[in-house]
Amino acid sequence: MDFFPVFMRLEQRDCLVVGGGKVAARKVALLVRAGARVQVVAPELCDELYALLEQQKITHLRRPFEDSDIQGKVLVIAGTDREDVNRRVSELAQAASLPVNVVDQPALCSFIMPSIIDRSPVQVAVSSGGTSPVLARLLRARLESYVPSAYGRLATLVESFRERVKQRFSSTDQRRQFWENILQGEVAEALFAGRDDTARDLLEKSLQGADDDPHPVGEVYLIGAGPGDPDLLTFRALRLMQMADVVVYDRLVAPPILDLARRDADQIYVGKERDNHALSQENINQLLVRLAKEGKRVVRLKGGDPFIFGRGGEEIATLMENGVTFQVVPGITAASGCATYSGIPLTHRDYAQSVVFVTGHLQDGSVDLNWKALAHSNQTIVFYMGLHGVGVMSEQLVKHGLPASTPVALVQQGTTQNQRVVVSDLEHLAETVQQEQIRPPTIIIVGKVVELHEKLQWFHPRPGADPRPFGGTPHR
């Protein structure tokens, strides 16, 4: 161990920062956050430091560093662009046994500063021992996704119960077990979901033993998994997926996303291909209720966003009726993901001032869409589940006033390594779908913005890179 990690109390303590540029400013900002009294010595201040001075968060000596500046300080940082000054500060501080850091010069430091994940009072500090600050920063970014932003509130809640828990349980083992259950269970989840009062009540109940019920209470997490690229998951989605006892998923969830669920979670496929429902919606709703009542943490994974053509509303309505606690996590919907990964902005100052998402799941030619409202020249239309109805779709849009030459993009398996973008127009749409053998899942984008695809496409998938395509059968 090259460096000994500690957390230092700096509130109301005098600290010295030598240097007035942006490098120094970053350190000053951190010290100020820790409540230190910061004195900055520098002939000039950058804008950020000047702002702090104006807010009276720091004091300033407008001149070069002098040896006596370190007197009375508990910590010293040098971040000037003058090598000799930095070295001098370091030598003096070390001679006075003061902790000193010289930015980006580990050899001149008696302490180094970590990358921080700040969920005060919880903090995670990452250090590469001065070898590579960039590496530490990248590692921090990874950890960031595992530490929910509400961890600070969780710690504060825990602290307020700590004494009482100590009194209630005499052995440390019992206490540890109690806290482990709290911190990984429904109390923590309630808090992460913003239900702070519920979290407090539940904690109170567990402490009073009202919770000695042998049946643990399950929960359902209705999670939008996005259109396919696992990188498009949200932090919350990933965290909840890693807590799952059971994952209930359907056709539109890409295999690499399923891989991210907890390894030993049971996986239940509930299909939902058109005309071939593996499980009816009603049965899915009941399945979720039953699993939760068995005490399981159920992750209900859905492609895209659960509230956009995802029947998420029906699923949570059933959960509510049955008194099952749940969370809903939004996801990137197919329209947004596929358009972005095809270089097609859904709105554009010159081409489209509005965008509508509609389902193209048309019942055998009987059309209940408001075509008149859809067929606007300055509007982008995105059809979900539209492959079956392309004939009716183009016919109606042209009939209601869109030029037959209006461009149309078909985006198949968008955002994945198997993404295909085929551009056609309303006149030739049905023909293109046939000829190009377009398969589900495919989203259909209609409007002038499609012209931008040629110029703005930036995502270049590597077909075959993921040998496990998803999303349906060839006949659709």
Which active-site residues does the annotation give? 250, 272
Site string for ligand SAH, 357-396 (x = CB under 6 A): ---------------------------xx-----------
**Candidate ranges 1-9, 85-93, 425-433, 441-449; the one touching ligand SAH (CB under 6 A):** 441-449
For the bound state, the minimum distance from the C-beta of residue 381 to ligand SAH, rounded and expressed in Å, comes to 13
Ordered DSSP codes for 125-194: EE--TTS-HHHHHHHHHHHHTTS-TTHHHHHHHHHHHHHHHHHH--SHHHHHHHHHHHHHSHHHHHHHTT
Nearer to ligand SAH, 24 or 252 (CB): 252
> With binding defined as CB under 6 A, does residue 338 bind ligand SAH?
yes
For the bound state, the minimum distance from the C-beta of residue 384 to ligand SAH, rounded and expressed in Å, comes to 4
Ramachandran sector of residue 286 (left: φ over 0; alpha: ψ -120 to 50; beta: rest): alpha
Number of residues that bind ligand SAH (CB under 6 A): 23
Q: Which of 442, 450, 466, 469 binds ligand SAH (CB under 6 A)?
A: 442
Nearer to ligand SAH, 39 or 413 (CB): 413
Closest residue by Cα to residue 302 from 291, 287, 312: 312
**Candidate ranges 109-117, 157-165, 319-327, 413-421; the one touching ligand SAH (CB under 6 A):** 413-421
Sheet holding 100-102, edge to edge: 58-61, 37-41, 14-18, 75-78, 100-102
Site string for ligand SAH, 52-91 (x = CB under 6 A): ----------------------------------------
The answer to whether the CB of 236 falls within 8 A of the CB of 224 is: no
Q: Which of 52, 70, 329, 334 binds ligand SAH (CB under 6 A)?
A: 334
For 429, the token pair is 């749409």
Nearer to ligand SAH, 109 or 252 (CB): 252
Ordered DSSP codes for 237-301: HHHHHTT-SEEEE-TTS-HHHHTTS-TT-EEEE---BTTB-SS-HHHHHHHHHHHHHTT-EEEEE
What are the φ and ψ backbone dihedral angles of 13, each rounded to 5 degrees? Answer: -100, 150
- Residue facing ligand SAH at closest CB distance: 304
**Candidate ranges 9-17, 68-76, 97-105, 306-314; the one touching ligand SAH (CB under 6 A):** 306-314
The answer to whether the CB of 220 falls within 8 A of the CB of 288 is: yes
For the bound state, the minimum distance from the C-beta of residue 463 to ligand SAH, rounded and expressed in Å, comes to 14
Q: Which of 58, 252, 284, 408 binds ligand SAH (CB under 6 A)?
A: 252
Going by C-beta distance under 8 Å and a sequence separation of 6 or more, which residues neighbour residue 235?
Answer: 144, 145, 148
Which SS3 state, helix, strand or coil, does residue 356 take? strand
> With binding defined as CB under 6 A, does residue 469 bind ligand SAH?
no
Q: Are strands 379-384 and 354-359 parallel, antiparallel or unpaired?
A: parallel
Q: Which of 69, 305, 315, 466 binds ligand SAH (CB under 6 A)?
A: 305
Residue reference for tokens 């995802």? 310
Nearer to ligand SAH, 305 or 466 (CB): 305
Cα–Cα dist 49/51, whole Å: 5
Task: Convert 424-439 to b/e letters by CB count within 10 Å (16 or more is b).
Answer: bbbeebbebbeeeebb
> With binding defined as CB under 6 A, does residue 230 bind ligand SAH?
no
Q: Which of 325, 327, 396, 413 binds ligand SAH (CB under 6 A)?
A: 413
For the bound state, the minimum distance from the C-beta of residue 355 to ligand SAH, rounded and expressed in Å, comes to 14
**Candidate ranges 137-145, 161-169, 367-375, 408-416; the one touching ligand SAH (CB under 6 A):** 408-416
> With binding defined as CB under 6 A, does residue 443 bind ligand SAH?
yes
Q: Are strands 246-249 and 297-302 parallel, antiparallel or unpaired?
A: parallel
For the bound state, the minimum distance from the C-beta of residue 471 to ligand SAH, rounded and expressed in Å, comes to 7
Q: Which of 24, 225, 288, 308 binds ligand SAH (CB under 6 A)?
A: 308
For the bound state, the minimum distance from the C-beta of residue 335 to ligand SAH, rounded and expressed in Å, comes to 7
> With binding defined as CB under 6 A, does residue 414 bind ligand SAH?
yes
Cα–Cα dist 472/388, whole Å: 13
H or E element that contains 124 = strand 122-126
For 33, the token pair is 């956050």
**Candidate ranges 15-23, 109-117, 372-380, 407-415; the one touching ligand SAH (CB under 6 A):** 407-415
Q: Are strands 122-126 and 115-119 parallel, antiparallel or unpaired?
A: antiparallel
User: What is the binding site for ligand SAH (CB under 6 A)?
Assistant: 227-228, 252, 302-305, 308-310, 333-334, 338, 384-385, 411, 413-415, 440-443
